[in-house]
Amino acid sequence: MKRPIFFVFILLFESSAWAQRITNVFVDLGMNHSGITYTNSYFTGIDRTDFKNNFNPNFSSSIGIELKLKNKLNLMTGLGYRTTGTMYKLPETTVQQPDGTGRMIDIYYHFKQVTLPLLFGYNFGEKFKIQPLIGLVNNYNVSISGKSKGDNLNQVDDFYLRSYRNYTFNGLLGLMLYNQHLFNSKLGLGLKLSFEHNLIDLDAYSHLQTNQNIVSASMMLIYKLPSKN
C-alpha cells in the first residue's frame, strides 16, 4: 500500500513540471450505496443483493488535486476515506432443522476503507463544466466487520471476514458537474456521480467469486489555484 501511494505523490509533488500542472484543489463529501454478490458458491440462487429493497447508505469523503494534462484533459488524484457495506438474506437453519426453519436471517457486512483514486476527465464548458470520468480506485480495508440479525444480533463467522482481501482495485465511471466560480473567482461547487466495480475478486481465496458494485454521489468544494503561466 505504501509504495504505490508514495510513488504517485513523489511524481506529483517533487517534479516541478507536474506541480505546475495542478489547477484545482478539492474536498468532497457524500454518500454511497454498495452491494456484494457471490457468483460461485452455495450462496448462488439464495443471495441477491437488491439495490431497492436492501438500500444501505454509507459515508464517503476525500481531498485531492486536479492536474491539467492537455487543453481539456485532466488527471484527478487524492486520498479518501469511506464506509461501504451490504446486506443480504439467508435461510435460517438449525441442528434440528438442517433444511431450513422457513425464516430468513439478515446478514450485514461493513467495510472501512482508505481510497486512492487515479481518474482521467475531459472538460466540456468554461464557467459551468461537465466532466466525464474514467479511472481506477485503489482501496485499503482498514477494518471489516459483520453481523447477523435473526432473533438475536450475532457476530458473523470470522472465517468469512478473514477471506476478504485487504487491498482491492475498482474500475470507475463517473460524471462531474460544477460551477468553477460560484462563490467568487476562485471558489466553486460541484456534484460528482460515480459507479465502481471491482477488477479483482474480493475473496482472497477465490472460494466465493465475490463482486462489489458501489454507486456514489458527493458534493465538491473546489478551489482554483492561481495560474502559473
Q: What is the pLDDT of residue 71?
A: 83
pLDDT tens track for 152-176: 445 555 556 666 778 889 999 999 9
**Is domain 2-224 in CATH 3.40.605.10, yes or no?**
no
Q: Which residue has the higher pLDDT, 68 or 210?
A: 68
Whether 148 contacts 107, CB under 8 Å: yes
- Residues 75-134: pLDDT tens digits? 999 999 998 877 766 667 677 777 777 777 777 778 899 999 999 999 888 778 899 999
Tell me if 101 sits within 8 A of 94, measured CB to CB: yes
Going through the chain in order, the beta strands assigned E by DSSP cover 22-38, 57-68, 73-91, 104-122, 128-149, 153-155, 167-179, 187-198, 210-224
Spell out the domain ranges in the chain: 2-224
pLDDT of residue 156: 58
Among 43-52, 189-198, 201-210, top mean pLDDT goes to 189-198
Residue 43 predicted with pLDDT over 60: no
Q: CB atoms < 10 A from the CB of 198, how many? A: 19
